[in-house]
Amino acid sequence: MKFLQHFDIEVIKYREGAHELEFQVTDRFFDEFEDNDLVNKGNLTVRVKMDKGVNLIEMDFKIQGSVHLTCDRSLEEFDYPLDIEESIIFKYGSEEKEIDENIFMITRDTPSINVAQLIYEFILLAIPAKKIHPDYRNELDEEESEAEGQYVYFDSESEKEEESSNDEPGSIDPRWEKLKKLK
């Protein structure tokens, strides 16, 4: 856990105004998280633009790089590029708590904010649910486009013709007409 202290932003040291910070996310970063099943390796650069005001601190995160994933289809490993932009607001208040997913309350005497967990969550949320190796993405797109037409039983032209014939007064659907003959 000492490694994650590298991701502390000592907000008490900074004056009001804009500040820029940079962090490097490597394999060691992902090793620090116990519940990490999705990402074990990666190389990313995190740039934080911090705007410290009188009543709040606004942080804009720009995360760029790649993470090492395992394909769900072929189990081959591949690098997945990431380009993430997120914003977090820290408001000053009487206690430390999470107000919203993007708004946190901190006390005025909070010496530092550790952004490691935020960065980790941003990375995990940017990973697609279906991790497909780039070599198999084209095959997947073709399969999906072929499967799209499998469940269509009529085309829109015949449907429009039926609707227009049913709208005319006195016209009877030919199917109903044949049923009337059975009487």
Cite the beta strand spans of 10-146 per DSSP E: 17-25, 41-52, 56-70, 77-92, 97-98, 103-106, 113-114
Please report, as a single letter, which amino acid is at residue 57.
Answer: I
**pLDDT at residue 161 greater than cutoff 70:** no
pLDDT tens for each residue of 108-121:
888 999 999 999 99
- DSSP, collapsed to helix, strand or coil, labels residue 124 as helix
Residue 149 has pLDDT above 70, yes or no: no
Confidence of residue 148 (pLDDT cuts 50, 70, 90): low
30-61, pLDDT tens digit by residue?
888 877 778 888 999 999 999 999 999 999 99
Alpha-carbon span 110 to 53, nearest angstrom? 15
Structure tokens of 161?
Answer: 């013709």
pLDDT by residue (tens digit) across 70-84?
A: 988 888 999 999 999
Count of C-beta atoms within a 10 Å radius of residue 177: 10
| pLDDT classification of 152: cutoffs 50, 70, 90 | very low
Helices first, then strands: H and E counts in the chain:
5, 8
**What's residue 163's pLDDT?**
54
Strands (E), 99-155: 103-106, 113-114
Percent of the chain exceeding pLDDT 70 equals: 81
Q: Which residue has the tokens 């997945």?
A: 80
Q: What is the pLDDT of residue 183?
A: 67
pTM greater than 0.85:
no
Q: What is the pLDDT of residue 157?
A: 53
Query: Cα–Cα distance between 122 and 105 in angstroms, integer?
Result: 19
Amino acid at 152: V
DSSP state at residue 3: G
In the prediction, which pLDDT does 50 show?
94
